[in-house]
Chain A
């Protein structure tokens, strides 16, 4: 966080209101986008809003770096009565990540929508996109359990619609969106039930207030049931194995922009909330340890192994990437399940790395989709000759996914493995090694087709994507490379987040 300390990007009066502006900006932008006369105008609104959100997120991060943690009482009503935003290093990191991805996605949407979304839907699409952005940003900034539920629903309703818009390209998007709606609603219901249990036990919804009260309660079965509900509910949203059924259809069917945005932010925000509850709210004790050791870690390991295997046997590129996302969520949760500062730091670092690499991968697939209807691995044969820049960016993302040296993915795997070794969990190291090998197999298959196979005879010819698509694509893959050589920024953010969670810093 040290890097942000000297960062004053906005006047003090604006900085003081930045926490709410991060959320309110996209919400207002969503209205403006919905009212705009055409797709182009909506796109401009979307980009401007995303720039504003990122600006405010940086301002918040600077403030957090200086102050430690910010409490922002909404409407001036002090908690525990009023709703409060509470932003610490972890929240600020997540907000930065989401706002950056949001901006890249908005830039990218200028061209990408033209091939994937019906013309009359584009204004509403941009509006939905901004609603999602507001929801995810709110989710990571809020300090209130019920308010988190509200933001979860705000973002989810947006994403259901966005996934369904993919029907212009692939009719399977409609059942996928419905499927997602059912899954997501069940998840949200479970979450709100869990929050209800906690409220009944403690009489507060404010997370910071809840933690000491839960600690005072000791072993309480209502609280433990609450945790179970919350983790199960959020697990659906985070695509935690085996609750990931919705993700495949949603990622594969949605417009590529939505896949980018969901892969890089949606599951990440839910993981954030799980980590926040498990480490920040629930008291330390035998129950929590057993939960991490016997539930979370084995499920995460199963995700790594099983979903990677499924990815190997899958033919469609988008579905391979979707399976891979579930497996990668497993990697992140394995890091968190170590319950050490190093493990959490590795988990957060991996989370950022995965957001960047998956963003690049889905974006590259979208860039190909602009000119050609490629779906299976065979369809991508020889595409590197026709669209070399997009293919190169895809290759960088893929290298990072595999964990090739000099990419961020490598450092992420490195810190994960070394934290597992420090904690003495050799089996996790074994799982990670096997998972990496499996990743290599399915990624290698795609890359071999793209770079080393001749195009299928009679197939459509792809052409290079326009500059407007290449720029955000290169930002994602460029960051994957840059942070692979100099990881000071993400590593310091991850370390600060981990020490907040472990209670070593405010």
Chain B
């Protein structure tokens, strides 16, 4: 076994192992959580070393099984996948820290099941990140849905069950009716589903069929929450904050847009995307999603709901990026995926911390809360800036590249929608932090319901990612360069 194969196996085995261990030592919370953190750190080391190897041009690959000819369970790590894996594993580690504080602080039940499902979800994410073909991606994509279902319904009340039904119904329904037929279509047209640099489909089929396949695959990846398949995301906010933070800001939704980016880059290829009218239709729909979701977010008083609607819009940015006629969009989309993940997880962790400390969930209740929790609201403010796209935060670069790519390829509508939504996000994000930090003297703000406010681990976790938003301002160029092969393979020869 080569060291590349070993890395792939370890990246898959570690989350599984963590799930098994969580079950085995479920009665001893301290041991359980310590071992989980060890697994998190281990996974970070593995994904980072994979990231380095891919950067050096030595992509790990491995074939697990071949159930039928042309149908392989295989892994191959390419730049976008390596980036996704690193992002997910690092944020998992941070989020685990947050979970421990939050779950204990909020005295949630069934914590062992919670951590098990979390680890299983990470197993799914690793599989999605490393998949070498659409079939493998699909398997892990579905696994991710199933593993996160018990997390969404964690509270076990009627609202949670309803949300769970919508969650499962939308995601699995879209997979069965749209995604899977799309994948089978690709397989029957091209003979395989392997992600191929430059695109698998060019030269194998007519424009009409390619259009249909693109629509099937993009809408089938319902985790990307493109309107009208977005309902599940705001509904899923009934889950505990760590779930919203990691899964509905990072792992699940990003798996959706990641799939779309991969499909655009490696199944259709930039040239075919340029030629397809369906890509333009999706761009229009994404532009509509961007604007509508921002308007809805503006109307929400519940902080988590506001964040969820903002996520719907931000995901549409990335979907747009994948559909832009020029490959530069792919790089911008990949960068935005990371930048938004770091910022959004911070926001969700802040929302969770506010809930644990004061019980407040509505924005209108948070006026003046910054007096008691100045550090927390500073983190919230930093992350808000990043999502809006203001310096000195990483969000600035990705938005800049996205708008630039849209203008560059003549998609005025998309560019306009992005600018309008950025202005709207100023309107729905900044007042949260401002009212809390700089409230008029008379406003008292909510009392602490938990003595001492938010637990230390929660604050630490939010702090790490908030500083990450700053760090990405500097690291953006490095990431964009790292993703360069994604955009440049039409100019430079890349071995298949």
Residues of A that sit less than 8 Å from B by CB: 402-406, 411, 414-415, 417-418, 421-422, 429, 433-434, 436-437, 440, 444, 452, 484-487, 491
A-B contact pairs, 26 of them (CB 8 A): A403-B180, A405-B135, A405-B139, A406-B139, A411-B68, A411-B71, A414-B68, A417-B180, A417-B181, A421-B184, A421-B185, A429-B181, A433-B176, A434-B177, A437-B173, A437-B176, A440-B173, A440-B176, A444-B168, A452-B150, A452-B153, A485-B67, A486-B67, A487-B67, A487-B68, A491-B68
What 1/0 mask marks residues of chain B from 163 to 175 whose CB sits below 8 Å from any chain A CB?
Answer: 0000010001100
CA of A434 to CA of B176, assembled, Å: 8
Once bound together, how far apart are the Cα atoms of A484 and B161, in whole Å? 31
**Which of B71, B176, B185 has the largest number of chain A CB atoms within 10 A?**
B176
A218 to chain B, nearest CB (A): 36
Minimal beta-carbon separation of B144 from chain A (angstroms): 12
Contact B150 A418 (CB under 8 A): no
A404 touches B177 (CB 8 A): no
Q: Does B138 contact A (CB under 8 A)?
A: yes
Q: Is the CB of B67 within 8 A of A417?
A: no
Residues on B with C-beta less than 8 A from A414 are 68, 71, 184, 187
Residues in B neighbouring A444, C-beta threshold 8 A: 168
Q: Is the CB of A436 within 8 A of B176?
A: yes
B177 lies within 8 A of A437 (CB) = yes
Let me know if A415 and B172 touch, CB within 8 A: no
* 8 pairs of A and B residues whose beta carbons are closest in the complex: A405-B139, A421-B188, A418-B188, A417-B184, A433-B177, A436-B176, A487-B67, A437-B176
Interface residues of B in 52-84 (CB under 8 A from A): 65-68, 71, 73
Interface residues on B, range: 20 to 34
Identify the closest chain A residue to B149 (Cβ): A452
A-B contact count (CB 8 A): 57
Q: Is the interface of B mostly helix, strand, loop or mixed?
A: helix
Q: Report the minimum CB–CB distance from A171 to chain B (whole Å).
A: 36
Chain B residues within 8 Å of A404, by CB: 142
Q: Does B172 contact A486, Cβ atoms closer than 8 Å?
A: no
Q: Is the CB of B68 within 8 A of A422?
A: no
Interface string of B140-155 (1 = CB under 8 A from A): 0010000000100100
Q: Give every chain B residue within 8 A of A487 (Cβ-Cβ).
A: 67-68
Taking the closest CB of chain A, its distance from the CB of B190, in whole angstroms, is 12
Nearest A residue (CB) for B66: A486
Pairwise interchain contact A440-B172, C-beta atoms closer than 8 A: yes
CB-CB under 8 A from B188, the residues of chain A are: 418, 421-422
Q: How far is the CB of B70 from chain A (nearest CB, A)?
A: 9
How far, in whole Å, are A421 and B186 apart by their CA atoms in the complex? 10
Nearest A-chain residue to B184, judged by Cβ = A417
With A and B bound together, what is the CA distance between A434 and B184 in angstroms?
A: 15
Minimum Cβ distance to chain B for residue A179 (Å): 35
Which residue on chain B has the smallest CB distance to residue A399?
Answer: B146
What residues of B have a CB within 8 angstroms of the CB of A491 in the complex? 68
Q: Which residues of B contact A484 (CB under 8 A)?
A: 67
Cβ-neighbour of A411 out of B67, B177, B181, B187 (below 8 A): B67
Chain B nearest CB from A402 CB (Å) reads 8
Taking the closest CB of chain B, its distance from the CB of A352, in whole angstroms, is: 14
B407 → A minimal CB distance (Å): 39
Q: Nearest Cβ in chain A — how far from B104, in angstroms?
A: 25
Q: With A405-B138, A421-B185 known to touch, is A486 a contact of B173 (CB < 8 Å)? A: no
Complex contacts, B168 vs chain A, CB 8 Å: 444
What B residues does A415 contact at CB under 8 A? 68
Across the interface, which residues of A come within 8 angstroms of B66, CB to CB?
486
Task: Give the shortest distance, in Å, between A13 (CB) and chain B (any CB).
Answer: 39
Q: Please indicate the chain B residues that have their CB under 8 angstroms from the CB of A452 in the complex.
A: 150, 153, 161
Residues of B within 8 A of A402 (CB): 176
The residue on A at minimum CB distance from B65 is A485
Known: A486-B67, A487-B68. A403 touches B185 (CB 8 A): no
